[in-house]
Amino acid sequence: MGDYYNYIKALHLIFVITWFAGLFYIPRLFIYHIEASQKPSPAKEILTRQLQLMTKRLWYIITWPSAVLAVLFASWLLVLMPSWLSQPWMHIKLVFVLLLILYHLKTHQIFRQLQRDEVKHTSRFMRIWNEGATLILFAIVFLAILKSTFNWIFGVVGIVVLGVLLMLGIKLYKRTRDKNPNI
């Protein structure tokens, strides 16, 4: 099972990486779309159409297929290694995977709104939303690597500290951008 298992694991990791690449980049495109919607014509229409096309290609050609394939290969790994399902670290990891899927579905909802030119969020909200995938990624990777040696208190504190640092980074960026709009 060694080589067979390693191929499945490698494919799972590749599609997790491409899934996260899409989840990291699409909110950035949403930010540009939201900011373009505030520009005067004809820049507003030109930028909006281009960003809708870029977003649609990223979402349907990279992000969705990667999500489906990552989950498919993960399921295959669990079939090959059913003992993992009895381990506490895997239960917690699966909770974070469920959060990731919910994050993906909510991002899909935002994607569909913007495809219909419905701007319901601010660019600041999207900058904060963008960090959700980062927090989930950190949690999943640490659980997968450290497994049962993971200190839960340290892990929870670490995720909270990371969240605080990300929010401070967003505030610092906003302050810098307010002072110099060309950034």
Q: Assess contact for 173 and 131: CB atoms under 8 A.
A: no
Q: Which residues are annotated as a binding site for heme?
A: 12, 93
Q: What are the tens digits of pLDDT across the range 61-92?
A: 999 999 999 999 999 999 999 999 998 888 88
Work out how many domains the chain is built from and give that number: 1
Q: What are the tens digits of pLDDT across the range 101-128?
A: 999 999 999 999 999 999 999 998 999 8
Rounded Cα distance, 173 and 51, in Å? 23
Q: Which residues are annotated as a binding site?
A: 12, 93
pTM of the model: 0.84
Considering only CA atoms, which of 135, 134, 140 is closest in space to residue 92? 140
Q: Assess contact for 170 and 127: CB atoms under 8 A.
A: yes
Domain boundaries, position 33: 2-179
Q: Assess contact for 97 and 25: CB atoms under 8 A.
A: no
Alpha carbon dihedral 6, 20, 63, 177, in 10-degree steps, equals -160
